[in-house]
Structure 1
């Protein structure tokens, strides 16, 4: 119990620091840029978030599973993960560039910004997160916490350095100049973390061929995460197309505040994720569900308290810090608050499904919800603008809860039938 509390403490430190620096980071971006510029940033970032799970084809999550269940294969999978992360990034860069071409009128500007952000947030961030997950899976939570802390510190420093540069030279303004600073900081940090990870762990086998069986399993992880990215962020991309970039900036700002509220919960979910695999050996979904429900019922009161306090205290803070700049985002933020609770429920239930060996079924559900989300967003955003995006976001998270719950009930029913059958055979 003390060991678990220490892990939670270190992850809360990591996520707490991340919470502080990430909050300052996105508040800083919102402060130094206009809602129109912030809208461009939000739309470009949404594309990278949607593509991000396919960078590495799910090998980050696969590494956690391998370390938790079959550590002797770690060097081989680690080598595979490093190579496939680089290969997949090149492909995603092409795909993202095509998407930018269709979504933005000012293609050349958007393309340059996409290159800068995708290198930092697709390739370099993925390599850094890989190291963080390796240390979590090996119970070196303290190291992982430091890495998580510094990820957001680098982002914050990019805004701070940009702000100083603009003060020194007022002509040094614009998203592209900030993007260059952000990219350089991300590159330096990623190189340092990779060297440190290689010193502290078994060396990756880079000459080993990429295993097709690992790719197959990794694809299930990446499809699930990408589908999750689609129903979380496709609305911001479509908002830029069907509304205007200023409204997109207001909506993106409200969503960023929402994401900040969920960061402490992510700390606990990051720690518990490897444990689901240990409880779920031999497809035992009863044990993973029992473990997941304990976590859920511990977190729900905390989340409800966070939502109630945020409803009353976040709007005055937005007015105080930004004056009248992001007033429209306040009502959007209040309407989006139920998502914080819904995400907690379906993330934990879905991790119980994955831990029991049903990642394929989880991915199918996420694909279905992502497709529904995309189709609903096209209609509702074109008809009802930002209100349509809010409705679809809440409905999508609710559908995830319902579909995953139905899957679990079916698997429990199957287990009961199989157990009864085995008893009959023995008798």
Structure 2
């Protein structure tokens, strides 16, 4: 199967439009929330969000990634895969919320209460994940609209809630804001679940707890959690090892960088199912897709990094004078966009061709290095130490992943590897034989399913 580039570009443009809409809503929500809470309470809120992000990948035990893989390859299993992923997400998500809340005194800054943690974790680990799950399912089925609309709806509702609260009760306090955060999120999640379940109809197979799926899914969960560790653990650690004000400054700068990454996220979402389809035939096949999208991904990353660096002085004008120090942090973290783009290409290439185990191992290693360095550096260098550690770990991860791909390709080319699908054989299987310039793609390749993350 070859990738229909015209259809792929159309898919990317649709998702990019959705990402830009989401980006505008996120930016407005971020400005309102940062002004309303101030640096200290915003830092405490960011620490709670970071803790939720650490456990969120375990909410479905990796059933979401397995669902995308299986449905991308066979749409007939959509109902059963949805039911299984939904069951895992609700049950495990609730257990995680209770577990994280019980550990609040050990892992959260002193300014964060039990109720704050519980509400944020329920909203993000169950509510947001259910919305993402519905979007991922429809994307795997070739319908991108849900993946575009649902995240935008959540951000629009949160923006509306934050705006109303800032105008009517500006001194609401962190705990009460988290209650509003939960109340806004859960109805959207329940609506997404209900509509998706009704549209899919009854599954041919009932919900089953399959330990083989749990074991495989745990690789995806551990990889996702490790990624969130080196993305978010520094915010929680700053709140405990430095101050919630430092956490607020760093979180504000990081949010700007994350929003600048939105165009690359659109390409990643569009390419995700294609990596599974192409990678079914081995690493050479997955790399065929990677080579096609790499110029776009790295080009967007470079433009976004330059844009973030140049636009950094605008941050305190929008957020308030308390965030003046965020300018230097944004400029320091701008390089992260390019590094993350490079590691994303390598990571999804490995996942698509069935090498999730190495990806997981590399991400866990990067997470452990991140935590260890932050424990040493944050007490002395505070936010600048955390930013430097983030850059080092992302660069290290990209280097390790690409080195592994280079090593595997050399083994395959020499014939010593287990997967011996060479580039020429891949081309023959794709229908591009030497001298056959008039080759017509198979019907399934003419109209491939549209393709596919926080």
Which TM-score bucket, shorter chain as reference?
over 0.9
Q: Which of 143, 146, 153 is residue 143 of structure 1 equivalent to?
A: 146
The 8 Å contact of residues 79 and 203 in structure 2, kept in 1 or not, is answered as yes
Determine the C-alpha separation between the residues in 2 that align with 1:293 and 1:161. 47
| TM-score normalised by L of structure 2 | 0.87
For 1:357-376, what aligned pairs fall within 5 Å after superposition? 357-376=354-373
Q: Where in structure 2 are the equivalents of 1:299-338 lying within 5 Å?
A: 299-315=297-313, 317-338=314-335
SS where residue 195 of structure 1 aligns?
Answer: helix
User: Is 1:38 the counterpart of 2:26 in the alignment?
Assistant: no
**1:15 positional shift:** 0.9
CA deviation profile, 1:294-335 (whole Å, cap 9, x unmatched): 2121222232222222212231x2232234120011111110
Distance 1:69 1:105 in 2: 45
CA distance in 2, matches of 1:126, 1:203: 22
* In structure 2, distance between residues paired with 1:98 and 1:391: 32
What CA distance in whole angstroms lies between the structure 1 residues aligned with 2:203 and 2:52? 27
Deviates most, 91-100 or 284-293: 91-100
Q: 3-state SS of the aligned residue for 1:34?
A: helix
Name the count of aligned residue pairs. 416
3-state DSSP of counterpart to 2:323: coil
Shifted more, 399-408 versus 156-165: the winner is 156-165
- Show the counterpart of 2:336: 339
Moved more, 139-148 or 259-268: 139-148
Structure 1 residue 194, shift from structure 2 partner: 1.2
CA contact (8 A) 1:19 1:264 kept: no
Q: How does 1:174-323 map to 2 (within 5 A)?
A: 174-204=173-203, 207-282=206-281, 284-315=282-313, 317-323=314-320
Tell me by how many angstroms 1:205 deviates.
6.6
Cα pair 1:339 1:397 within 8 Å, conserved: yes
Name the residue aligned to 2:172: 173
CA contact (8 A) 1:158 1:178 kept: no
Residue in 2 that maps onto 1:409: 406
Q: What is the root-mean-square deviation in Å for CA atoms of aligned residues?
A: 2.0
Q: Using the alignment, how far apart are the partners of 1:96 and 1:89 within structure 2?
A: 11
Cα distance, 1:24 vs structure 2: 1.1
Structure 1 residues 138, 270: closer, same or farther in 2, change over 3 A? same
Task: Give 2:62's match in structure 1, choosing from 14, 39, 58.
Answer: 58
Asked if the contact 2:59/2:126 (under 8 Å) is kept, the reply is: yes
Q: Say whether the 8 Å CA contact 1:279–1:287 is kept in structure 2.
A: yes
Q: Partners in 2 of 1:228 and 1:420 — Cα distance?
A: 28
**Structure 1 residue 257: Cα displacement:** 0.7
Task: Please give the TM-score of this superposition, normalised by the length of structure 1.
Answer: 0.92
Kindly indicate which of the two structures has a greater share of residues assigned to helix: 1
Q: Which runs of 5+ in 2 are unaligned?
A: 422-454
Residues 58-77 of structure 1: pairs in structure 2 closer than 5 A: 58-77=62-81
Provide the rounded CA distance (Å) in 2 between the counterparts of 1:128 and 1:206. 23
Q: Residues 184-240 of structure 1: CA distance to partner in whole angstroms, max 9, x if unpaired?
A: 111111121112212322434784321111111111111111000001111111101
CA contact (8 A) 1:336 1:390 kept: yes
2:166 to 163, 166, 169: 163
Report the counterpart of residue 25 of structure 1 in structure 2: 29
